[in-house]
C-alpha cells in the first residue's frame, strides 16, 4: 500500500512540478509583482502564489487526507503519517532580479522521513527525481556524486537560513571554507545546489541552520546519489529537524569535512 501511494504521488508531483514550472518560466520576463516578505530580505512574487496553487490543487485532489506544508500558505490539513513539503519557487530572489537559477521543489514525507523528492528547473527543463532506496535521476539518467582527487581544490556549496544573517560563527565558518577550498558557492536556491552535488558538479555542501520546505527533497536527492549526510558531530542526519546543521559529501571525505567544521 505504501509503495502504491508513492508511485501515484510521483506521477502527481512530476506533473504538478512541470505545470507550475512552465507557469513560472512564462512570468520570468513579465511583471513579477514582487513583494518583500518578512524582515530578512526574502521576497515573494505572483509566480510563487500561482505555482503554489497548481501544486496544492494537484496534491489535494489525489490525497485529500494528507497534510501539506507550503512556503506561502503554511500548514494545510491534519497531522498524520504523510506530509507534503512544497516550495513553489525556490530561488525567488534570483528570479526577481532576472537570474535564471530557480526551481520547483516537492517532497513527500512518511513518518518524518523523506521518501520522494521532485525538483524541476524550468529554465533548463531538468527534472530531478529521488525515491528512497531507489536512487536519484535527472531526466531519467542516474545521478552519482563524484570523488575529487584533491580536497583543497574542491568546489563546495554553502547554504544558510534567512535568520542566520550576520551570525559570527557562521561568518567564521564560511571564511574558513573560502580559505580552504578553490570555490565556495551560495546560489540562494538550495534545491539547485543539492542537485549540483547529486550530479557531481559540487564536491560537498555545508548547511548552516536552514530548515525549510526546500530542504528535504535536496537531501534525498544527494543521499540517493551516494552522498553521506551528517550533522556537525558526524552523526547520520535522519528525519526532520527544526535547526539543522549538515555536511553532505562523498563518504571518503567525511573526516576532512568534520575537521574543517570543528575549526570554526
Domains of the chain, by residue range, sit at 2-142, 151-262
Right CATH for 151-262 from 3.40.190.80, 3.30.565.10, 2.60.120.20, 3.40.50.720:
3.40.190.80
- Convert the pLDDT of each residue in 48-105 to its tens digit: 999 999 999 999 999 999 999 998 999 999 999 999 999 999 999 999 999 999 999 9
- Residue indicated by cell numbers 513579477: 32
Percent of the chain with pLDDT over 70: 98
Is the pLDDT confidence value at 163 over 90? Answer: no
241-246: average pLDDT = 96
pLDDT of 149: 85
Please state the CATH superfamily assignment of the domain spanning residues 2-142 in this structure: Fructose-1,6-Bisphosphatase, subunit A, domain 1 (3.30.540.10)
Can you count the helices (H) and strands (E) in the chain? 7, 15
pLDDT of 8: 97
Provide the strand spans (E) within the chain: 35-37, 42-44, 67-70, 74-76, 82-90, 103-110, 113-121, 126-131, 135-138, 141-142, 155-160, 183-185, 204-208, 228-231, 245-249
pTM of the model as a whole: 0.95
**Which band of pLDDT confidence, cut at 50, 70 and 90, is reported for residue 162?**
confident
pLDDT of 224: 98
Measured CA distances, 205 to 106, 150, 186, 229 (Å): 20, 16, 10, 9
Q: What is the mean pLDDT of the chain?
A: 95
- Convert the pLDDT of each residue in 25-53 to its tens digit: 999 988 889 888 766 667 889 999 999 99
Percent of the chain with pLDDT over 90: 89
Amino acid at each position: 500500500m505504501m509503495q502504491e501511494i508513492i508511485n501515484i504521488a510521483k506521477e502527481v508531483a512530476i506533473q504538478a512540478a512541470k505545470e507550475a514550472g512552465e507557469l513560472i518560466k512564462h512570468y520570468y520576463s513579465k511583471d513579477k509583482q514582487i513583494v518583500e516578505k518578512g524582515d530578512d530580505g526574502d521576497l515573494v512574487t505572483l509566480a510563487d502564489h500561482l505555482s503554489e496553487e497548481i501544486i496544492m490543487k494537484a496534491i489535494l485532489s489525489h490525497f485529500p487526507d494528507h497534510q501539506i506544508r507550503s512556503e506561502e500558505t503554511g500548514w494545510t490539513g491534519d497531522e498524520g503519517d504523510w506530509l507534503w513539503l512544497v516550495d513553489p519557487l525556490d530561488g525567488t530572489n534570483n528570479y526577481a532580479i532576472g537570474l535564471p537559477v530557480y526551481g520547483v521543489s516537492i517532497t513527500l514525507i512518511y513518518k518524518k522521513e523523506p521518501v520522494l523528492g521532485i525538483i524541476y528547473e524550468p529554465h533548463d527543463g531538468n527534472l530531478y527525481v529521488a525515491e528512497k532506496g531507489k536512487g536519484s535521476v535527472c531526466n531519467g539518467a542516474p545521478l552519482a556524486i563524484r570523488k575529487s582527487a584533491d580536497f583543497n581544490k574542491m568546489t563546495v556549496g554553502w547554504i544558510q537560513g534567512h535568520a542566520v544573517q550576520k551570525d559570527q560563527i557562521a561568518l567564521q565558518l564560511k571564511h574558513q571554507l573560502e580559505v580552504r577550498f578553490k570555490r565556495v558557492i551560495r546560489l540562494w536556491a538550495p534545491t539547485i545546489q543539492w542537485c549540483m552535488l547529486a550530479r557531481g558538479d559540487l564536491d560537498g555542501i555545508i548547511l548552516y541552520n536552514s530548515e525549510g520546505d526546500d530542504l528535504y527533497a535536496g537531501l534525498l536527492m544527494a543521499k540517493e546519489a551516494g552522498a553521506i549526510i551528517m550533522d556537525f558531530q558526524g552523526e547520520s542526519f535522519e528525519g526532520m529537524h527544526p535547526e539543522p546543521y549538515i555536511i553532505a559529501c562523498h563518504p571518503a571525505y567525511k573526516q576532512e569535512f568534520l575537521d574543517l567544521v570543528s575549526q570554526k
